[in-house]
Structure 1
């Protein structure tokens, strides 16, 4: 069986206490997103993303689509608002380290996104699936995953820099089905973020959801997949 999951990179935040958060024991892990996340895992996702974009907050970046600019809140008077501002100040440069993980549960082969790739770019898989010869988009490096379409067969290589790299092959219609599942899981994740924010940070409930929704469902009318997502 072959599965596809949207994954997001989490890192440890020692001493964090603004809300309950289940940070990984390891320095970095790729967390699969979907309806099954616990509130503490959602809290860790929001915290890690805000922390990763703290420099953008200090630089006063432009707000993301779907959010509104706001003065920098005082850390003493509003530590939660001050911390969350990092998630909103990334503007068009918001980066959600991660991507799409494809796994062959029969052979154990896994194709993970490489370093510097972002989940906000997951639509490039749709572009690849609509192609005819080879994938010209980039899925990260170290490892450097690759995708090639030969007829109606998709050949995925976990690391094109390794001759011994695991390979996954699947029919093109199956890849389309897997990407539909990724889309469904992202919507389920966004619903969890919306509900989590209403409970844990009610004074700042809308911005985290709006920021992530803008990144994961980009308003690009030229992309049929994104237009279809936005109509749901």
Structure 2
């Protein structure tokens, strides 16, 4: 795995411990006859799988199975065929994104429908006063309130004719770079977990290629541009 070039912004201690930001993917529904060809954690479809260095082999295998659920795999669809099909794809995607939470009040805002983990770096748009596209139905959105980024679970029009509904999490604007740094560290740690899973699964060179493909498609170890001001 290439050396990680982590985000270079943010001061340690800037974030209150109550605010969290995590990379997540949505657990897919595996239909009859399409069970993954390796052990996976039996998490409920529609729940969120957090990606970090602590992922077990079963959770890491669930991530790879979720990637494979987005593509067509020719029969017989065994382990090697699934990984080969993933490596042949021009673009890997995963339904998900970044989940933000306030542990003090117990509020979480999760990615909306059709949001993709591959776009997680778009959160830097909030530093320039905009909002990344976070999915729809209900349509999470970032409202900029001076030096506070208010992340709404539903940023679309509501029945009262206004906007901003449901729960929200407030993030100090200056804390966002450090939060994104922590997300990147989690994802770099997950790449290590993926490499370990691939080695223990006997994937050989396929495993190394898969780690590289995940790194590239989800922009994990590259350095992003951080807007200033």
Q: Which TM-score tier does this pair reach, normalised by the shorter chain?
A: 0.7 to 0.9
Q: Give the structure 2 partner of residue 7 of structure 1.
A: 24
| Correspondence 1:1-232 to 2 at 5 A | 1-13=18-30, 16=35, 18-24=37-43, 26-54=44-72, 75=75, 79-92=78-91, 94-129=92-127, 131=128, 133-135=129-131, 137-161=132-156, 162=158, 164-203=165-204, 204-217=206-219, 223-224=224-225
Higher relative contact order (CA 8 A, sep 6+): 2
- What is the CA distance between 1:182 and its match in structure 2? 0.5
Aligned partners of 2:54 and 2:193 also within 8 Å:
no
Quick one: structure 1 residues 198 and 106, their matched pair in 2 at CA, closer, same or farther if it must change by over 3 Å? same
- What count of residue pairs does the alignment treat as equivalent? 200
Residue by residue, what CA displacement relative to the aligned partner does 1:37-60 show, whole Å, maximum 9, x if unpaired?
111111111122113222xx56xx
- What is the CA distance between 1:220 and its match in structure 2? 7.4
- What is the CA distance between 1:171 and its match in structure 2? 1.2
Aligned partners of 1:51 and 1:86 also within 8 Å:
no
Aligned partners of 1:197 and 1:205 also within 8 Å:
yes
Aligned partners of 2:53 and 2:193 also within 8 Å:
yes
- Listed as ranges, the gaps of 5+ residues in structure 2 are 1-17, 159-163
After the TM superposition, which of the residue ranges 29-38 and 14-23 deviates more from structure 2?
Answer: 14-23
- Listed as ranges, the gaps of 5+ residues in structure 1 are 59-74, 226-232
1: distance between equivalents of 2:175 and 2:94? Answer: 26
RMSD between superposed Cα atoms in Å: 2.3
- What is the CA distance between 1:8 and its match in structure 2? 0.9
Aligned partners of 1:186 and 1:216 also within 8 Å:
no
Quick one: structure 1 residues 32 and 218, their matched pair in 2 at CA, closer, same or farther if it must change by over 3 Å? closer
